[in-house]
Amino acid sequence: MAYSNLEACLLDLERNGQLLRIKEEVDPNLEMAAIHLRIFEQKGPAILFEKVKGSKFRAASNIFGTLERSQFIFRNTLPQVKQLIDIKIDPTAALKSPFKTLSALPAAVNALPNGMPIAKPVLFEEINISDLPLIKHWPMDGGAFVTLPQVYTEDADKPGIGNANLGMYRIQLEGNNYELNKEIGLHYQLHRGIGVHQTKANKKGMPLKVSVFVGGPPAHSVAAVMPLPEGMSEMNFAGVLAGKRFNYTYVDGYCVSTDADFVITGEVFPGENKPEGPFGDHLGYYSLQHDFPVMKVHKVFARKNAIWAFTVVGRPPQEDTSFGQLIHSMTGSAISNEIPGLKEVHAVDAAGVHPLLLAIGSERYTPYLNHKKPAEILTIANHILGTGQLSLAKFLWITAPDAKSNTVLDTHNEKEFFAYMLERMDFSRDLHFYTNTTIDTLDYSGENLNSGSKLVLAAYGDPIRTLATTIPDAIQQLNADAHLIMSGVVALNANKMSTVLLQTLLNGLGTELLEKLGVTILVLTEDAAWMAADMNNFLWAAFTRANPSHDIDGVDAFLDKKHWGCKGPMIIDATIKKHHAPPVVKDAEVEKRVDTILAKYGY
């Protein structure tokens, strides 16, 4: 089914029992977000808020709340999308399966954007920013934000939709010192196409024209976050996934998606920034207030009976998780085709995506040697860290299959994957640090914005140890409230232990702990029992709160010709530091009001 707009999709979901209508008036200040979070946690339906306090417009969220619902929404177009992506990745695929390829060709017509649409529903009325549902998501947020925007910009050197970029960069609508209805904040991070466009516009001394689309066919939101093969534009992809061409026109020199529910147009001038944030973000912490480009609002348009689309992010997994799952189901082997030798890569959502990557590569360099050690996977690791948004990874664990092992490697089974690597890792050789480099903008484990370090952990070969399944006496005797997270990994209470004290007390015992007793990693945390209670607690806290160069140490550590290693267990300081951003926490009073509202709907 080709949805002409967002409401058509919601009605289709309702017919299939996948929509909840909230009929009473709900406050956009924290209440709507809290309702969304509660419904998402229960794997509930999409939500349509029929009465938003302070706005005449309705709002919808949790549209993509499960992979199954996302696949249902795109049930008629996903097969053709996968075929076209496969052809783009490997053109010879068309020759191998010509009849299968021919079946995808009609869908390719929808890839052509339509610049002369007969209807232009989004131009139904002109409104103000203050007329929109101004949704504040978390208590410490700096104001209301757009969380499902499609931000459109064009290349100053090659204007036109053919070289345009459509990305999902959060927009702050009010708060801080933005002038309401005249200014909004444009936040974007490293390795984003809009940055290239702004750089080119700045070089020419001209403002960058920006159009923000909200709502419209759901395919347009997915297109804004889709990592596409080189040469394929988001608007091409949006048309194929939607099953209908991307309709657009120009108003006062601004590109307008005519099928959107709302469009905000404006300009970003060289050197004009204002404080943006804080914002409760998808790592589960607030991204703090920093200067980002300010967008001078030109016009705001809305279609008749428009619906404001939004989502809520916080400690993962959240709705954006299903975006990643949907993308993976469509792209399949796209990344592994781009990087020779790479078989699989998984950005761990529970750890906030960029902080932790798990990868499976190949080891084909020295088959003539009996002694196995990482070689090709180190080359692959460097390639991963030089590829698009994968380059934002902070911890990269990479290994390769061992013919002698019966283990079936799967990066999505984190516990087994870690165990496989920890059985083989030589901590004196297999840790490779990248210092004073760039990390994700939202990651505050480093000491400056966008700045931190990386660690590649590469292991290959036969098992060299058996992992501990109980906590050895040498660790118990530390009286640090030790808890086993998984085989070989132990959490210790940081209120009773520090890295320096731990190293002092265990000095000289490293080899025995690591090789004989099978303790490979010691994690310092404020609540060891909490960390060990759930694998996701470990994945989240250990990898979002640690800056490798500062927070990784080891028992019997050494430095040999600038290579760091340890003869005993590696130590991860996963405590919250003074420079870290605070974690997002729900408001207790709001939760009570949400209890009352949702009780009427059985939630």
Distance, in Å, from the CA atom of 226 to the CA atom of 327, rounded to the nearest integer, reads: 7
- Two tokens at 356? 């932790």
Q: What 8-state DSSP symbol labels residue 575? A: S
Instruction: Write down the pLDDT at residue 86.
Output: 65
Topology classification of domain 6-315: Pnp Oxidase; Chain A (2.30.110)
Cα–Cα distances (Å) from 515 to 380, 422, 461, 487, 522, in that order, read 28, 11, 16, 14, 14
Instruction: Write down the pLDDT at residue 101.
Output: 47
Helix and strand totals (H; E) in the chain: 20, 29
Q: Which residue's structure tokens are 């008749």? A: 304
Rounded to 5 degrees, what are φ and ψ at 331?
-85, -25
The CATH number of the domain covering residues in 320-459:
3.40.1670.10
Instruction: Write down the pLDDT at residue 407.
Output: 74
Cα–Cα distances (Å) from 52 to 23, 32, 62, in that order, read 10, 9, 16
Instruction: Write down the pLDDT at residue 194.
Output: 85
Instruction: Write down the pLDDT at residue 99.
Output: 44
**H-type alpha helices, 226-367:** 234-242, 319-331, 334-338
User: Where in the chain is CATH 3.40.1670.10?
Assistant: 320-459
Q: Say whether 153 sits in a helix, a strand or coil.
A: strand
Distance, in Å, from the CA atom of 43 to the CA atom of 601, rounded to the nearest integer, reads: 14
Q: Say whether 218 sits in a helix, a strand or coil.
A: helix
Cβ atoms of residues 460 and 363 within 8 Å: yes
Instruction: Write down the pLDDT at residue 219.
Output: 95
Instruction: Write down the pLDDT at residue 333.
Output: 58
Instruction: Write down the pLDDT at residue 95.
Output: 45
Which regions in the chain score pLDDT beneath 50?
Answer: 94-95, 98-99, 101-102
Q: Say whether 261 sits in a helix, a strand or coil.
A: coil
Summarised one tens digit per residue, pLDDT across range 132-173 is 999 999 999 999 999 999 999 999 999 999 989 999 999 999
Q: Say whether 530 sits in a helix, a strand or coil.
A: helix
CA neighbor of 337 nearest in space, from 105, 82, 88, 108? 88
User: Where in the chain is CATH 2.30.110.10?
Assistant: 6-315
